[in-house]
Amino acid sequence: MNPTARNASRLVGKAVLATGLVVGLTPVLGANPAYACSCIGPVSEEKLKKQAQVVFKGKVKSKSGTVDSPGSTGAETVTYAFSVSRTYKGKVRVPQLVATANSSATCGVRLSVGSTYMVYATRAEPANKSKAARRAADRKPLQINLCGGTHKIT
């Protein structure tokens, strides 16, 4: 084999090795988690109420965080503070805090301060079955998501 052919063969081998490394390591090193929020078709108000642990009508007084903020990983949350005008199910606090994912891709809900909503929420899960854990979970904000039915009231 002449020197030119040998060099060409080495270059091809290095290119194949480099390509294999890039393709093989991409899932390990460079892949970001993929998120998608998908809700099952329209659900009746009755079913939404049945699925929720807490249902109330209230006005958003303030919020901390931004849904779909730049650089969002989907793991952060946005918290809204509500003044509750009517409770339909469960117990609420004054003011009632409600949390959601900060990305619509992970089913985060974008609400507007000053607007009134019908809220369908769930309670935080206790860390265990102890009374202290249940009390601690009750102090956490209620949880809402894009598929839960929370909607603006005009």
Give the domain extent around 12.
1-31
Same domain as 53, residue 26: no
Examine the domain organization and report whether 90 and 27 are in the same domain.
no
22 and 96 belong to one structural domain = no
Number of domains in the chain: 2
In DSSP terms, which residues pair with 151 in a beta bridge?
118
pLDDT in single tens digits along all 154 residues of the chain = 555 555 555 554 554 554 544 444 444 444 445 556 888 878 899 999 999 999 999 999 999 987 777 776 667 899 999 999 999 999 999 899 999 998 888 898 999 999 999 999 999 998 898 999 988 988 899 999 999 999 999 7
Give pLDDT, residue 5. Answer: 54
Note whether residue 142 is domain-resident.
yes
* Same-domain check for residues 16 and 51: no
Q: What is the DSSP secondary-structure string of 76-135?
A: SEEEEEEEEEEEEES---SSEEEEEES-GGGT-----TT-EEEEEEBPPPPSSSSHHHHH
User: Which residues face 63 on adjacent strands?
Assistant: 80
Pair (86, 132) in one structural domain: yes
Question: Which pLDDT tens digit goes with each residue over 104-118?
Answer: 888 989 999 999 999
